[in-house]
Amino acid sequence: MKILVVEDEAPIRDLISINLQLVGYEVFTAEDGIIAEKFLENQKVDLILLDVMIPGIDGFSLIEKIKKHKTADSMEERIMDKVTIVFWSQSGNTESMANAVAEGVTAAGKEAVVVDVASASLDDLKTAKGFAMGCPAMGAEVLEEGEMEPFVCDVEGFAAGKTIALFGSYGWGDGQWMRDWADRMTAAGATVVNGEGVICQEAPDDAALDACKDLGKQLAAL
C-alpha cells in the first residue's frame, strides 16, 4: 500500500513516516499542500494522511482538489470503456454487421454503443481512441451521400491518431467503395483495423459476422 503523509512539522512527519515504513508501507511525504498537489498529479496512492493546517493549500482545499481530479479520472475511464459503432443501413445488412461488432466489444469486456449515423455524436468519437463505422456501397460504389458521407468528412478532420474499424455490405461491384474509404481514413492519419474494411455481399454470412466480431474485440483491446 502506498501512503502520502502531508504534514508541515518535520518531527511529526518523520515520526509517522518511520512507523508506517516499519510495518511495510511505502510512504511518501509532502511538507505543504502545493507539494502534495503536484505529487498527486503524477502519482497514485492508496491513502493520504493529511494535516488540516498546512502552508500553501490548506487541508480542506486540497481535499476538494483531489475530489475534482478523481471525478475527472473516473469520467475518462468511463469514456475509455466505451466503444462507439456508427452505421448507416438501408436493407438491414450493415446494421447486422454493426451488431456483430458490438458483440465482439462486449465479449472483450467493454461497453458497445451502436448508433445510427443520424443520431451519432462527433464529440464522442473525438474523445475515443478508436471506433467503428459501417456503410453499404451505394450507386457507383460510394458511401451513402445524404448522411454518411458528410459524417465521414467531419471525421477526417480529427481522425489522425485514431484506430478505426470499417465494415459494410454491397450488392454489386468488387468492394472499391470500401478500399476508397480505408484509403481516406489512412490519408487522414488514422489506423484502419486490419488495414482494410470487412465487407460482404448482401446479407452477412457467419464468416462476415465473425470478422465483424473480431473488429469489436480489437477495438476493445485499445
Joined grid coordinates for residue 150: 458528410
Indicate the range of 5-14, 32-41, 148-157, 173-182 predicted with least confidence. Answer: 32-41
**Best CA proximity match to 215, nearest among 160, 167, 156, 155:** 167
Joined grid coordinates for residue 14: 518523520
First to last CA, the chain: 28
* pLDDT per position as a tens digit, 163-210: 999 999 999 999 999 999 999 999 999 999 999 999 999 999 999 999
Which residues of the chain does CATH 3.40.50.2300 include? 2-74
Q: What is the rounded distance in angstroms from the CA atom of residue 98 to the CA atom of residue 88?
A: 9
Of 94 and 59, the structure prediction assigns the larger pLDDT to 94
* pLDDT per position as a tens digit, 121-175: 998 899 899 999 999 999 999 999 999 999 999 999 999 999 999 999 999 999 9
- Quick one: pLDDT at residue 57? 84
- Quick one: pLDDT at residue 60? 85
Percent of the chain with pLDDT over 90: 73
Joined grid coordinates for residue 192: 484502419
Residues 6+ apart with CB under 8 A from 195: 182
The crossing angle, in degrees rounded to 10, of helices 206-220 and 93-107 is 50
**Architecture per CATH, 81-220:** 3-Layer(aba) Sandwich (3.40)
**Architecture per CATH, 2-74:** 3-Layer(aba) Sandwich (3.40)
> What global pTM score does this model have?
0.67
C-beta separation of 31 from 7 below 8 A: yes
Joined grid coordinates for residue 161: 491518431
Joined grid coordinates for residue 53: 493546517
* pLDDT per position as a tens digit, 56-84: 888 788 888 777 766 545 444 444 578 99
- Quick one: pLDDT at residue 80? 56
CB atoms within 10 A of CB 33: 23
Indicate the range of 2-11, 28-37, 65-74, 184-193 predicted with least confidence. Answer: 65-74
Joined grid coordinates for residue 56: 500553501
- Quick one: pLDDT at residue 124? 87
Which residues of the chain does CATH 3.40.50.360 include? 81-220
Average pLDDT over residues 104-118: 94
- Quick one: pLDDT at residue 136? 98
**How many Cα atoms sit within 13 Å of 188 on the Cβ side?**
20
